[in-house]
Amino acid sequence: MAVGIFDSGLGGLTVLDAVARKLPAVPFVYFGDNAHAPYGVRTHDDIFNLTCAATERLWDEGCDLVILACNTASAAALKRMQETWVPSDKRVLGVFVPLIEALTERQWGDNSPPREVAVKHVALFATPATVASRAFQRELAYRAVGVDVEAQPCGGVVDAIEQGDEILAEALVRSHVEALKRRMPYPEAAVLGCTHYPLLARVFQDALGPEVRVYSQANLVAESLADYLQRRPAFLGAGTLAKFLTTGDPAYVSSKATQFLRRAITFEAV
């Protein structure tokens, strides 16, 4: 009954932590492609190929359902995967859907015409590849009208987090928030469009100010996954063991993961 969680690096651990607390009976297999991180500066074809390879490995672990806990992969590869690559007995889902549902206050299956929503000015912080894809804006436009989205590519933040350099990561976040606010001085809401960023949610909130509502993905994804599995229990795979896999150095990745989640995490080499 295992479910796979994939990320280019360590950011998806924020999603894993939330879904594991929400669904304690489900074993989760986490795959971090640390050897090829970050994905945010790669081409779409490269991201597609790497994401497919990781997904196949999670299928081999008995995970018929794989969550792309990586906004870059969700933006650059998911649609192509679902349309051309994923077989009918498997499912691959992304992390944009719960965010869009939260912002528009409507379920994904609601296919009524786009309508006005309460939030009019949204700041999007994401990797350069996610920003370039415009996937968030496209999905939002299907469901809402009159929403101004200002996107800020946050170069360097993922690298700093992966390297464990908290001081640099915080400085970069403040710099990116300042850059966005020069273009959108008064955002009403901010979307942390990378699963690494919840590790710095406090810094984003402090830089944006208390009046800005910050949407972080982990808990939203956990709620959405619980609902999905309740409606589609057949996609609980045959795997029974929870584990952590990495394409990187398992000792180094385990050390950084333990630092991030503040509990012992042991990765195995792929």
The DSSP secondary-structure symbol of 161 reads: H
Q: Quick one: three-class SS letters along 3-21?
A: EEEEECCCCCHHHHHHHHH
Catalytic residue of the set 52, 63, 70, 154: 70
Distances 14 to 19, 197, 201, 257, 260 between C-alpha atoms, Å:
9, 9, 11, 10, 9
Inter-residue contact 216 to 197 (CB < 8 Å): yes
Q: Is 154 a catalytic residue?
A: no
H-helix or E-strand spanning residue 154: none
Catalytic residue of the set 52, 63, 154, 194: 194
Q: Is 52 a catalytic residue?
A: no
CA pair distance 112, 270, nearest whole angstrom: 44
Long-range contacts of 174-179 (CB under 8 A, 24+ apart): 174/203, 174/207, 176/125, 176/152, 177/125, 177/152, 177/204, 177/207, 177/208, 178/207, 179/152
- Active-site residue set: 70, 194
